[in-house]
Chain A
Amino acid sequence: MTNVLELRGITKRFPGVLANDQISIALREGKILALLGENGAGKSTLMNILYGLYQPDEGEIIVRGQKVDIHGPNDAIAQGIGMVHQHFMLVPVMTVTENVMLGIEPTRNRVFLDKEKVAKRIREISDQYGLEVDPQAYIKDLPVGIQQRVEIIKVLYRQADILILDEPTAVLTPQEVEGLFKIIDTLIKSGKSIIFITHKLKEVLAVADDITVLRLGKVVGSIDPKEATSEILATMMVGRDVNLVVQKENAKPAGPVLVVENLYVRDERQHMTVQGVSFEVRQGEVLGLAGVQGNGQTELVYALTGLLPIDAGSIHLLGESIRHAPPRKILERGVAHIPEDRQRHGLILSFPIHDNMMLCTYYQPPFARGIALQPAPIFSNAEELVKQYDVRTPNIYVNAGTLSGGNQQKVIVAREFSRPIKLLVASQPTRGLDVGSIEYIHKQIIKKRDEGCGVLVVSSELDEILALSDRIAVIYKGQIMAIVDANTATKEQLGLLMAGVHLSETSNKN
């Protein structure tokens, strides 16, 4: 079988970093190549080279047997290469049709946009590949899974036959992932070839025809999925044996730390996104909050940490109401918060690591005496935490923005865990992190639990919820669908709850 796309000996250097080192990969026609690697392994750089956003220092790109130069996305598209980005590139206030035609607008009489023609073509593509979508719908009204379909249609509309899917399952429910895999299947059957970028091992095993693993900018190896297991792949990715299951004893929960009753919260656009939520988190247990992104988890966490006001209901922390408490009060009462968007809330990227390490405690001794900051304790605190939490950085004086995602997260974890805390609210604590960092952060969370801290873990990754939780609450459209015991919960059951199907209905189906 012929290779429709080959990258040979691609090398790309950035100042001080060898992002890609002699990388060679091959995509067979009509097959799915899974590109597996930790963050910072060089996957994104490689794909950006393929998509023309970077120029390689060495190496060549061969499309259908022809060596090609790709100087930008337009060249890539001309070669039939299309990319579905992890973060969708869609304009929310425009319709599906308008988004699809953006950049290559066909016109009537050279003046008027010919939307009808585009809509017709979209319907044809929809029918051909089973990508159901209403061309007249506005993007902002569509669920994430459908938005992803629009992205795929965009690529197909541009007549790509080599599709790059960058972390396509990151934002989907388990059921939506199933749907995506069906679409991928249809695409392959009609002759498309796909590069599937991911760090989720099970998905790779489920869909890939070939697997290539990258680590630290180099190809570690390629493996046939029939011979691969999760453990083998994880070891290849990380370069050492990895414990995929978090080792933990059963929880020994004590009294409640956090009691939330009938909570209502509006988001920044004044939509009521949390609608009457009640639950409690006890000392020494992990309560997992599962749910598809955008079902009110974010606002719930913001309300718990004082970042959003509460509309109705109550929140008690160790018996004291924190209903109207400002963030500082809540922090001082022992709440640690690992925010879902670490670059927006968790860090000041343009500040050095040592300042980020005291972001919440800068006004307290030993970091300050009166209003005067004390450099010596600030530096030694950072040195210590960097060592203790294994933050990979040249020194504590570089800006947080220069660290990789995993190390940025470690800075936040180190800072929050170094305070005396009673409740840990961890929101998407390992999103976008590599296997090694995930393992580490999971261990730290369990350690806090065992020290008697109450832990609320919010995640859209079921695997993470299952690995950490003692009890699992599922949130859907701002309401708790059910709270179940983690030992008896199944993925299927949780997936259905996440999709808004009540437990009684699921048992009826079974």
Chain B
Amino acid sequence: MTTTAAPAPHARNKENHRSALLQELLIPVLAVVTGLILGAIVILASGENPLRAYGALFAGSFGAPGDLIEGIQSYAATGETRLLLRAIYPITESLVTATPYIFAGLSVALGFRCGLFNIGAEGQFFIGALCSAFAGYSLTGLPMILHLPLAILAGALGGAVWGMIPGYLKARFGAHEVVNTIMMNWIAFRLSDWLLNGPMKSSGFRPVTPNVLASAEMPRFFPDPLRFNLSFFLALLAAYLVYWFLFKTTLGFEIRSVGANPDAAKYAGMNIIRNFVLVMFLAVGLAGLAGSAQVLGVDHWVGQGFSAGYGFDAIAIALLGKSHPAGVVLAALLFGLLRSGATDMQSIARIPIDIISIIQGMVIIFIAAPDIIRWLYRIRTKKAEDTVLTRGWGK
């Protein structure tokens, strides 16, 4: 019995990595598949045809393959892009929907990695959007190269400062972040109600902000009505940066240590409080960016009910993505596809949009209780430490 696999430890590492990766992916994928199957049963029980429903869902999220072929042929024959653009409209809309999901999902995942449960992404999303909108319409006369980054930064910083409040309360008084961030949500909602009806109200009748200036809009890659824009790539960049930060830097090592075992982190000389505050700052900054992406890339103004649950879905996305940036991107894409396709499913197949919520709900249950999936598919349990999502009350 000797010690190490001497010949090629790094190859061994890769091999380990690969099997670990498969193991990691197995449960989420099966959870999604099972969610779709159970969704089909629900559709069937309500007297509709699940195949027709999922067909419409697919066409609404990816686009109809027939349309795509037709579009390419028409473009090749005449140079006319109208049909082609119509064919790729669904998939671009899915990516547009996925964008704030990626940012907000990264926000919650980053918190999870440090053992913090940030339920406040919804409110932080609002604050980020309002700050970006304000920077977007109030700063005039700037070229885009300055105005757009400033507007994005406003959203990130606005969110981050908002996030320092629960971070500080936890660090200073040991107040649990779950309670604090929920409360901060309500403050954010009411604050935005007031802002939209008062200081930030546009000249029109409705309680909405003025439109951001063109110089603060995220550049779009296709003509209207396609809304696909730069923010999607910024979201991917953010995911990469979060990955690099968490896994390749000493700061990320500290954050993961604090999340995995705060006692050992303290023993190793890490400052727990400083990590909590840092993570809250960064995580809430990301949630703020979700709001910026939505206002600068898609809507160009903020109104009541602007967020539409992105912040809460973000918790589900972080769970589904196992708090890993790559997992978060995949989960956010899935949610984007489902959400965006659901609209078509409702209009074409007349299946209520709520079926998507049912499917999402079931997927989350399976992720939260993976033993159900292991039992359903007879997967042998490989004893692994589950990711710690949040620590108990108090310190």
Contact = CB atoms under 8 A, between A and B. Distances in A.
A210 interface: no
A355 B247 CA distance: 11
Nearest to B244: A372
Interface in A349-363: 349-351, 355, 359-360, 362-363
B266 A349 contact: no
A191 to B, nearest CB: 41
Contacts of A143: none
B267 interface: yes
Interface stretch (A178-186, A386-394, A447-455, A499-507): A386-394
Interface string A292-327: 000000000000010100000000000000000011
A348 B260 contact: yes
A348 B256 CA distance: 10
A327 B267 contact: yes
Interface residues of A, number: 44
Contacts of B382: 15
Sorting the interface of chain B by its residue count into under 10, 10 to 19, 20 to 34 or 35 or more gives: 20 to 34
A108 interface: no
Nearest to B253: A362
B10 A346 contact: no
Q: Which of B13, B264, B265, B380 has the most CB of A within 10 A?
A: B264
A355 B253 contact: yes
B249 interface: yes
Contacts of B220: none
B76 interface: no
Q: Which of A368, A372, A373, A397 has the most CB of B within 10 A?
A: A397
A351 B259 CA distance: 11
A373 B253 contact: yes
B263 A344 contact: yes
B385 A399 contact: yes
Contacts of A390: 3
Contact of A371 (B3, B249, B264): B249
A396 B9 CA distance: 8
B131 to A, nearest CB: 28
A337 B266 CA distance: 12
A339 B264 CA distance: 10
A397 B1 contact: no
A391 B2 CA distance: 9
A77 B199 CA distance: 73
The binding surface of chain B is classed by DSSP as helix
Contact of B249 (A307, A327, A373, A379): A373
Contact of B4 (A15, A371, A387): A387
A363 B265 CA distance: 13
Nearest to B381: A15
Contacts of B12: 395, 397
Given A362-B253, A395-B4, A337 B385 contact: no
A351 B5 CA distance: 19
Nearest to A376: B10
A345 interface: yes
Contacts of B45: none
Contacts of B305: none
Contacts of A337: 267
A355 B264 CA distance: 12
Contact of A327 (B4, B269, B385): B269
B4 A360 contact: no
Given A349-B385, A371-B249, A392-B3, A331 B16 contact: no
A371 B250 contact: yes
A307 B9 contact: no
Contacts of A305: 267
A121 B120 CA distance: 55
A360 B257 CA distance: 11
A348 B261 CA distance: 6
Complex A-B, nearest 7 residue pairs according to Cβ-Cβ distance, in ascending order: A328-B269, A350-B385, A345-B267, A327-B269, A371-B249, A348-B261, A359-B268
18 contacts: A307-B266, A327-B266, A331-B268, A344-B263, A345-B267, A349-B261, A351-B257, A359-B264, A360-B267, A360-B269, A371-B249, A379-B9, A379-B10, A383-B9, A390-B3, A392-B3, A395-B16, A397-B9
Interface of A: 15, 305, 307, 326-332, 337, 339, 344-351, 355, 359-360, 362-363, 368, 371-373, 379, 383, 386-387, 390-399, 401
Given A348-B260, A373-B253, 6 more contacts: A328-B269, A328-B271, A359-B257, A390-B3, A392-B1, A396-B9
Interface of B: 1, 3-5, 9-10, 12-13, 16, 248-251, 253-254, 256-257, 260-261, 263-271, 380, 382, 384-385, 387
